[in-house]
């Protein structure tokens, strides 16, 4: 399937702009055909105006149509077959096995949201019946539910070119909430983005939704991205990337005359705490799991364990030796793009320049910069150095980890207290040790969006109970998750109807519960009609 390199603006393909770029194969550093056109200001306005007009028609979009859209997008992505995997592999250097799995996660996520929309209870309908005879003041009839927020702008992640990208979790959850979506494509994944964007464009047409329900535009974040964030008709933003990028967009959104939410998932170092009982029983096993988690996907996961904290002793020595051997045996591998590889090099240089930080092990082979490669590495320091060095608490995005040796439990707790917000925090402990170290759990619960007992933080299940979020700087809003069905809540807002005639209420709030959703009637969860 030849790529056209144009912007997808509703039902049209537009490329009036003179500025073009090409995606680059990170494994060879060669540009890939074709040229892609940056969207012009007029094209951006057209995309947002179409989305705004489409949203004005939302009353005529039934949940069944939204579910059909999500299903159809999944089918269209499946129909792209190997074309998608091949192009995505060229643009990211990710192996086809990983991409095939990520495609299944993407389509599975879309189909999961279709089921959420069909079932319908996510709107959290609440009905409080009136008490006209109440004294001294009668109680009105109050009915509340969630409604879509409006056109959503999505900035895809660099590290999940399918599952957190054009048809990824942000787009799927925004569509599921009933919002039109505009995606600012990643230049590195321009071809992959076009293929998936075309699948969505076809699905929008096939399910009879207004054309403005979806657009895909190309251009730099600092111009195109910011112009879109500032456009008055954009109502919310989904983002995954760096703290600097997320914060720039968040600040721009907050400075608008009419501020809007930016749900940015950003940096996390995902601390792993190893208590002595766990190390005594399983130091080698923990080293193997930690190595796998820290080097998976060349360490390019937001849940990569970049920090390990343990009490000094024989167990920790065994872990360091076993992990060190594995790190040395790890071959350098190609990262997603030059900027990420350079960011990783800079991060490890900063670690190495910090007095009191020791390099314990590094990949035995040197990385080839012509192939955008990174070498795995493990560093160690003591708690005092860690607590003094702000730089040691920064995310180093790639296959390295820093081990902090603590002399006492009090030091371990100080290290935990010093951490910023995290997506995850992990504790390895013998079961009875957790009682002794209850304070550690109490601290970590204030820091992280997901707490793990045993295991490793990479591998984020897409399901109703998942929370992929956390206090700043892990995200800009710790109330929400960007993975799992609860992600839909980011793109909805509550509205309450007071004393409204039955005929003017949405189906979910009428006396007869024709949609069969769970509702809270006078505080009690039920599917019964209101009588």
Catalytically annotated residue among 43, 76, 102, 302: 302
Q: Does 159 bind ligand NAP (CB under 6 A)?
A: yes
3-state helix, strand, coil in the chain (%, to 5): 45, 20, 35
Alpha helical stretches, state H, 360-432: 383-388, 409-418
Q: Does 293 bind ligand NAP (CB under 6 A)?
A: no
CB atoms within 10 A of CB 281: 12
CB of 245 vs ligand NAP, minimal distance in Å:
2
Q: Does 508 bind ligand NAP (CB under 6 A)?
A: no
Q: Does 248 bind ligand NAP (CB under 6 A)?
A: yes
Of 41 and 115, nearer to ligand NAP (C-beta) is 41
Burial of 489 (0-12, 13-18, 19+ CB in 10 A): middle
Query: Quick check: is 265 catalytic?
Result: yes
Partners of residue 178 on adjacent β-strands? none
Catalytically annotated residue among 265, 395, 406, 508: 265
Q: Does 263 bind ligand NAP (CB under 6 A)?
A: no
Q: Does 240 bind ligand NAP (CB under 6 A)?
A: yes
Q: Report residue 374 CA to chain centroid gap.
A: 23
Q: Does 76 bind ligand NAP (CB under 6 A)?
A: no
Q: Does 397 bind ligand NAP (CB under 6 A)?
A: yes
Among 212, 241, 289, 449, binds ligand NAP (CB under 6 A): 241
CB of 138 vs ligand NAP, minimal distance in Å:
51
Going by C-alpha positions, the residue among 466, 403, 467, 415 that lies closest to residue 440 is 415
b/e for 265-279, b at 16 or more Cβ within 10 A? Answer: bbbbbbbbbbbbbbb
C-alpha atoms less than 13 angstroms from C-alpha of 248 in its C-beta half-sphere: 13
Among 130, 220, 232, 454, binds ligand NAP (CB under 6 A): 220
CB of 173 vs ligand NAP, minimal distance in Å:
16
Partners of residue 443 on adjacent β-strands? none
Of 324 and 347, nearer to ligand NAP (C-beta) is 347
Q: Which residue shows structure tokens 């005929």? A: 503
Q: Report residue 64 CA to chain centroid gap.
A: 26
Q: Does 165 bind ligand NAP (CB under 6 A)?
A: no
Among 242, 411, 458, 476, binds ligand NAP (CB under 6 A): 242
The answer to whether 105 and 111 are in contact (CB under 8 A) is: no
DSSP designation for 308: E
DSSP designation for 297: G
Q: Does 17 bind ligand NAP (CB under 6 A)?
A: no
Of 336 and 380, nearer to ligand NAP (C-beta) is 336
d(CA 154, CA 193): 12
Contacts of 61 (CB under 8 A, 6+ apart): 178, 209
CB of 249 vs ligand NAP, minimal distance in Å:
5
Q: Does 471 bind ligand NAP (CB under 6 A)?
A: no
Binding residues among 297-316 for ligand NAP as defined by CB under 6 A: 302
Among 186, 393, 490, 510, binds ligand NAP (CB under 6 A): 186
Q: Does 420 bind ligand NAP (CB under 6 A)?
A: no
Partners of residue 373 on adjacent β-strands? 334
Among 161, 180, 225, 277, binds ligand NAP (CB under 6 A): 225
Residues that bind ligand NAP (CB under 6 A): 155, 157-159, 184, 186-187, 220-222, 225-226, 240-242, 244-245, 248-249, 265-268, 302, 340, 343, 395, 397
Give catalytic residue positions.
265, 302
């Amino acid at each position: 399937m030849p790529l056209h390199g144009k912007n997808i603006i509703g039902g049209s393909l537009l490329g009036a702009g003179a500025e073009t770029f090409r995606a680059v194969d990170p494994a060879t550093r060669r540009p890939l055909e074709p040229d892609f056109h940056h969207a012009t200001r007029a094209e951006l306005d057209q995309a947002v105006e179409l989305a705004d007009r489409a949203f004005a028609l939302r009353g005529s979009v039934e949940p069944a149509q939204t579910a059909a859209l999500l299903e159809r997008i999944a089918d269209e992505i499946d129909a792209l077959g190997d074309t998608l995997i091949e192009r995505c592999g060229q643009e990211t250097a990710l192996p086809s096995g990983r991409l095939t799995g990520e495609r299944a996660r993407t389509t599975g996520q879309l189909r999961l949201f279709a089921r959420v929309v069909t079932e319908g209870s996510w709107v959290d309908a609440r009905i409080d019946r009136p008490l006209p005879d109440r004294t001294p003041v009668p109680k009105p009839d109050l009915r509340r539910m969630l409604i879509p927020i409006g056109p959503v702008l999505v900035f895809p992640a660099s590290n999940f070119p399918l599952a957190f990208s054009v048809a990824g979790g942000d787009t799927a959850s925004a569509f599921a909430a009933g919002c039109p979506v505009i995606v600012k494509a990643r230049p590195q994944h321009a071809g992959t983005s076009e293929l998936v964007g075309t699948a969505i464009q076809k699905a929008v047409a096939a399910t009879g939704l207004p054309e403005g329900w979806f657009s895909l535009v190309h251009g730099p974040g600092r111009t195109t991205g910011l112009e879109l964030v500032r456009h008055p008709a954009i109502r919310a933003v989904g983002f995954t990337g760096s703290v600097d990028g997320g914060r720039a967009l968040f600040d721009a959104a907050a400075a608008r005359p009419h501020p809007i939410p930016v749900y940015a998932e950003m940096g996390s170092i995902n601390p792993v705490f190893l208590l002595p009982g766990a190390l005594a029983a399983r130091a080698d096993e923990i080293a193997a799991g930690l190595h796998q988690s820290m080097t998976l996907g060349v360490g390019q996961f937001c849940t990569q364990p970049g920090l390990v904290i343990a009490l000094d002793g024989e167990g920790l020595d065994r872990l360091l030796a076993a992990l060190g051997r594995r790190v040395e045996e790890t071959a350098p591998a190609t990262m997603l793009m030059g900027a990420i590889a350079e960011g990783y090099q800079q991060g490890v240089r900063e670690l190495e320049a910090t007095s009191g930080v020791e390099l314990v092990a590094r990949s035995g082979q040197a990385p080839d910069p012509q192939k955008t490669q990174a070498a795995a590495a493990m560093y160690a320091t003591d708690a005092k150095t860690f607590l003094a060095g702000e730089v040691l608490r920064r995310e180093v995005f790639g296959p390295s980890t820093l081990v902090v040796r603590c002399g006492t439990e009090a030091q371990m707790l100080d290290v935990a207290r010093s951490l910023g917000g995290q997506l995850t925090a992990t504790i390895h402990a013998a079961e009875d040790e957790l009682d002794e170290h209850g304070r550690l759990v109490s601290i970590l619960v204030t820091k992280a969006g997901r707490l793990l007992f045993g295991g490793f933080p990479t591998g984020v299940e897409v399901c109703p109970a998942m929370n992929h979020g956390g206090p700043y700087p892990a995200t800009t809003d710790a109330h929400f998750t960007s993975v799992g069905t609860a992600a839909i809540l980011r793109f909805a807002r509550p509205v309450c109807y007071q004393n409204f005639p039955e005929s003017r209420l949405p189906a979910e709030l009428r006396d007869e519960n024709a949609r069969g959703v769970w509702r809270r009637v006078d505080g009690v969860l039920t599917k019964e009609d209101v009588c």
